[in-house]
Structure 1
């Protein structure tokens, strides 16, 4: 398959790939990398249908078929029968609105401008543990900073954005303890517990990874711009969405599975009853990754989610860094030197002793399918600009039919407003009654 199959000259593709740290050695290598970039543009993170094609005929042949106008039957054959006719047809409806060459080129150009490295499974820095996610695994990552950290022993420290002083103090103590043992602190770069863990790791001259929900160029939240830039200088910022992609609630939920998969264990430091950190805990439990919970005061609403996990999940109570070492690496540290149970360093050269067990535990737990369509469409709606159904389909990664069905539900709940011309936006009292002109489509199709 030549670069011409992508409707982009080969020389242009080679220049784009070199800009993201992937100089091309052969036409096959170019096709594989461009196919991965294409799939990350047309599909949302964790799309199991892409995983089925990757496990079948492979990503490059499947991407070429998609560009050439594959029908559901072709996708079924490419997946070696893993996709049903209905699943293949639904996937095509999701992907087709996003099939535009300009978007692939734009994502690669933006990534190059921010010095984001394209990481694929053939790269020495690729974290093999991502395979535990089965069909929901990423097929491409974007890294700013030290990509080698992704293969090191890591522990995720996650928790509430609205953290208490107690929660932030514990997160910082645990992060410092991990860094003193050369263990990478993995988190999501958010306010609260995430930020406290990252800051403590940096202060302790340790290694830390922040996993973003948007593109690698979108340092979110904006209030952590300086912190995330320090992480890029000293650690690594990671994203699986194309550069230029904004973070949404749906992508935050999908991002959490990467935080879990990049870690030997997940520790929830502080979480309310509805905290997003509980979603990370769910991903860990689903994948068979050891889960630890820090208890809090029984009167604290900020720890209600932690206490619920201790009651209902297969989780270990964490009260010291030694508990985390035992949870993540299966080893006990000996001795204490103060009331906070600071232990002597242990040999974790064999980091990953739980990996085989967690892969076995995760077997058969991955289900195909995505989250709520209404949530994804609600995330895509703008409050100050009207959007067509086609635009919303491209933004949400859903089929036009699914978007229309979701809009009906959102309109019923007063979460979407329709104009007389059939365009939509998020409710905004100041803009009621505005009727737009129909926007013209942007970019060119990858199809001839």
Structure 2
């Protein structure tokens, strides 16, 4: 087996062994490479004496953890899955489905995912027309929102998705009911350029199944005329954690993210937070002040986290022309928090601006373990970016 094939096999195995955004696992891969990382994770290779220190450096953590190390925690977490590893089977399954596995370094690997830094996925399982490639971020717009969308939300989503598709953008969403499904359907209906995916659905489960089942016909259409993508291997079930981590991929693949309808605690807000953390433009569509389905979008607008958009023309203006790669505005936004790691950026964007929240509420929004959130809050507070009051943690007001 050549080195390229061995790395591809190793990444396929690691994708089954580790959950998305398993920071210890990603740190291990960054430290020793995917091949040795798999050997260490499965017990076939003993970790070197300096590996723990290297992990601490890569993850930007401080030493002095009292009991087991991060690596030992990871080894115990991965051990139950070692017996189920069968990367050749997973690769064969994707080949049978007409799909493929993409890994960093491949010609078709989306370069925009590198903006996730350590959070970049180990690999991408892709199903769709083999002649189609993932378009660059500056030609991609994410439309996300509530699963229990209203007629108003569906109508606005349809108009925006069709308008963007006719302007040459690829519409990305999560394949779910509601706003996601309407975005995909309208993009498929309006698509005219056969060289560009009509739409892309980023899934939280393996691509050997169509989930949710009620969208099977829609997802089959996307596989025929667009692309289905996932970072988890075939056979993987959708879980809340995988949905939350899937959202960061939607944000990273898209130059602009638009939330059409979202309740106060909608998962679509998580996607918006990821996009903001990457310095990408975020838009929100206003709704009725009496509609609970628009409470989340109004929250984004009130907090200044999103720009008000009402149609495809305004979204295209927010996204910018195709030849203007996301460089000036995103870099200016990130410069304010220069030096922050990915975890701290995710945590910072999860912090509310006004009323504080508890650590327990920050954990699902940021998509990070509780102890990581606690450590990150300390670092953000030291830099004057987070503050704690009687109601909990919030973002510190800039001077």
TM-score normalised according to structure 2 size: 0.76
Offset at residue 226 of structure 1 (A): 0.7
Structure 1 residue 168 corresponds to structure 2 residue 154: yes
CA deviations 1:253-306 (Å, max 9, x no partner) are 111110000000100000111211111111112222211100001111110111
Q: Of 258, 277, 282, which residue of structure 2 is paired with 1:291?
A: 282
Q: Of 302, 310, 335, which residue of structure 2 is paired with 1:311?
A: 302
Offset at residue 31 of structure 1 (A): 1.8
Offset at residue 308 of structure 1 (A): 1.0
**Contact 2:280 2:326 (C-alpha < 8 Å) held by counterparts:** no
Q: Of 17, 23, 40, which residue of structure 2 is paired with 1:65?
A: 40
Structure 1 residue 47 corresponds to structure 2 residue 30: no
Q: Distance in 1 between matches of 2:281 and 2:337?
A: 11
Query: Given the superposition, is the C-alpha separation of residues 225 and 75 from structure 1 closer, same or farther in structure 2, using an over 3 Å criterion?
Result: farther
**Contact 2:140 2:169 (C-alpha < 8 Å) held by counterparts:** yes
Query: Given the superposition, is the C-alpha separation of residues 37 and 214 from structure 1 closer, same or farther in structure 2, using an over 3 Å criterion?
Result: same
Q: Of 208, 224, 240, which residue of structure 1 is paired with 2:199?
A: 208
Offset at residue 106 of structure 1 (A): 3.3
Q: Secondary structure at the match of 1:163?
A: coil
Q: Of 93, 99, 103, which residue of structure 2 is paired with 1:110?
A: 93
Q: Of 209, 227, 242, which residue of structure 2 is paired with 1:251?
A: 242
Offset at residue 55 of structure 1 (A): 2.7
Q: Please say which structure displays the higher CA radius of gyration.
A: 1
Structure 1 residue 90 corresponds to structure 2 residue 81: no
Offset at residue 37 of structure 1 (A): 1.0
Q: Of 149, 167, 174, which residue of structure 1 is paired with 2:134?
A: 149
CA deviations 1:82-138 (Å, max 9, x no partner) are 355722222112122212364333322322221221111122111111111121110
Structure 1: gaps (5+ residues): 1-9, 11-26, 330-346, 376-397, 399-448
Q: Secondary structure at the match of 1:139?
A: coil
CA deviations 1:333-379 (Å, max 9, x no partner) are xxxxxxxxxxxxxx5244444565566577525128999xx99xxxx
**Contact 1:62 1:78 (C-alpha < 8 Å) held by counterparts:** no
Query: Given the superposition, is the C-alpha separation of residues 359 and 258 from structure 1 closer, same or farther in structure 2, using an over 3 Å criterion?
Result: farther
Q: Distance in 1 between matches of 2:29 and 2:91?
A: 21
Structure 2: gaps (5+ residues): 193-197, 351-359, 362-368, 370-399
Q: Secondary structure at the match of 2:133?
A: helix
Q: CA RMSD in A?
A: 2.7
Structure 1 residue 232 corresponds to structure 2 residue 232: no
Structure 1 residue 321 corresponds to structure 2 residue 302: no
Query: Given the superposition, is the C-alpha separation of residues 358 and 233 from structure 1 closer, same or farther in structure 2, using an over 3 Å criterion?
Result: farther
Query: Given the superposition, is the C-alpha separation of residues 244 and 121 from structure 1 closer, same or farther in structure 2, using an over 3 Å criterion?
Result: same
Aligned to 1:348: 322
**Contact 1:118 1:140 (C-alpha < 8 Å) held by counterparts:** yes
